[in-house]
Chain A
Amino acid sequence: MNNKAQSIKYRVTLTALWGFTIIYTISFLAGKQLFPFDKWIGALFKPVYAMMFGG
């Protein structure tokens, strides 16, 4: 891979990481739940858990 392509990948990754970090941190400081990961994960696995152990 040439240096230019590598540099673009690096810039995209770093910008995306900082972007997500800033949005997430602002949402936390503002008390807004923009990314309720635990609820999404819970919704995904709750039926499986209920099937295995009956809730």
Chain B
Amino acid sequence: MNHNLNHWQLSLIVFSFIMGSSLLMAPNLTSFFSGQDAWISMILAVIIGFLINILWLFLLKRYQFQSIFALNELTAGKIMGTAVNITIVFYALHLAAYVIRNLSNFMIANVIPESNPWTYQIMIILLAVYTTYYGFNNIARVSEFLNPWMFLLFIGSLLLTINKFEFSNLKPVFDQKFVYIAQGAYSTTGFPFIEIILLGSVFVYVKQKEKLTKSYMAGLLWGGAVLIITVIAVVGVQGDYMVKRQSYPTYELMRNISVVSILERIEVLITVVWIFGILVKVVVCLFAAVSGLKHISGHTSMRVFLLPCAILIWSMANHIHENMMEFTDFVGQNWTMWWFTLYAVIVIFLIAGIMRGKDKQAGT
């Protein structure tokens, strides 16, 4: 199993992780609360996400970017550290289940309504298991190959909507009260800017660690910039009245593309970009979960945990929510707080560890 990553591959993984799920859902989640000021909410979410991740990286750097599972045991002690590690494993599996449910919801609601959701769920889980089985370097190389094409497809699709963009849809600026703008930012901060802390389980495999912070933050800011541009484009073309009524407004935006009669129904291009982001996200979650289980069990290989984790993700994806409305409502209200709790617990342990000089013992 080859898990090694270079700093360029790390940037691309972070970028894809940020794009996965959020690319199609962020405009609705922000606009639902802040209307035409959704883009301000998105900028606010990126700034908060940036600050949260800067602190996260600063603390991990003090511990020489060791695996978060090893650091939890080092800073919180054997029993408490194992409890936190089990919690991280659960968070990772839970997130993977949500991402997969999101994919099947989307396929059933927008692309092929007559099909069975299990088809998409099982296919992407198998792909994620296959990728994780051969090591994290596998998805990093796929990412390296596909990301430029994905970026091109995304920018190309977005450019084709320019003729329908109206600045009047974004006016008046700051029309909403700050509390609504903050509420829009809240729902997109946890998803994806806090859940990305799961990548803390792969930092140990990154070569040239002195460039790690720069590469990670570059990927995060690029991903954040793409989300801001997406929200501006979606609200600018469709208007907030429509955006807040659509579950996947970016996809609906692409449906508007019509350049002469040969360029029609090209919305599926944005789906390709989105599904690739989802695959990266599921692989990161699965990798974090099996790495955590490997650490907890003290076993030499993580492969043995792949099958039960895959089955659990699949059953959880189907069992967590009964319908799409319940799913979206839950994510909008609880997701940021749910992930921030995990972030806060780990950060408190890391800070307490630094105060007790534990950072000097890391990596020795």
Contact = CB atoms under 8 A, between A and B. Distances in A.
Contacts of A13: 293, 296-297, 299
B297 A21 contact: no
Interface string B322-350: 00001000100110011000000000000
A21 B186 CA distance: 32
B49 to A, nearest CB: 18
Given A14-B304, A24-B319, A41 B338 contact: yes
Given A21-B311, A25-B315, A9 B297 contact: yes
Interface residues of B, number: 28
Contact of B312 (A1, A6, A24, A33): A24
B298 A10 contact: yes
A10 B321 contact: no
Given A42-B330, A52-B186, A37 B297 contact: no
B333 A46 contact: yes
Interface string A21-55: 10011011100010001100110011011001110
Contact of A28 (B293, B299, B315, B338): B315
Interface residues of A, number: 28
A6 B295 CA distance: 11
B273 to A, nearest CB: 28
A13 B308 CA distance: 12
Contact of A14 (B305, B316, B330, B334): B305
A45 B337 contact: yes
A46 B330 CA distance: 10
Contact of A38 (B304, B305, B330): B330
Contacts of B333: 42, 45-46, 49
A10 B337 contact: no
Residue among A13, A27, A46 facing the most chain B CB atoms (10 A cut-off): A13
A37 to B, nearest CB: 7
Interface in B248-300: 293, 296-299
Interface string A1-13: 1000010011011
A44 to B, nearest CB: 8
Contact of A9 (B186, B296, B308, B309): B296
A45 B337 CA distance: 7
B183 A53 contact: yes
Nearest to B314: A25
B318 interface: yes
A45 B80 CA distance: 23
Nearest to A11: B297
Given A25-B311, A45-B333, A10 B297 contact: yes
Interface of A: 1, 6, 9-10, 12-14, 17-18, 20-21, 24-25, 27-29, 33, 37-38, 41-42, 45-46, 48-49, 52-54
28 contacts: A9-B296, A10-B297, A10-B298, A12-B297, A13-B296, A13-B299, A14-B297, A14-B305, A14-B308, A24-B312, A24-B316, A25-B315, A28-B315, A28-B316, A29-B315, A33-B319, A37-B320, A38-B321, A38-B330, A38-B334, A41-B334, A42-B330, A42-B333, A46-B334, A53-B179, A53-B182, A53-B183, A53-B186
Interface of B: 94, 179, 182-183, 186, 293, 296-299, 304-305, 308-309, 311-312, 315-316, 318-321, 326, 330, 333-334, 337-338
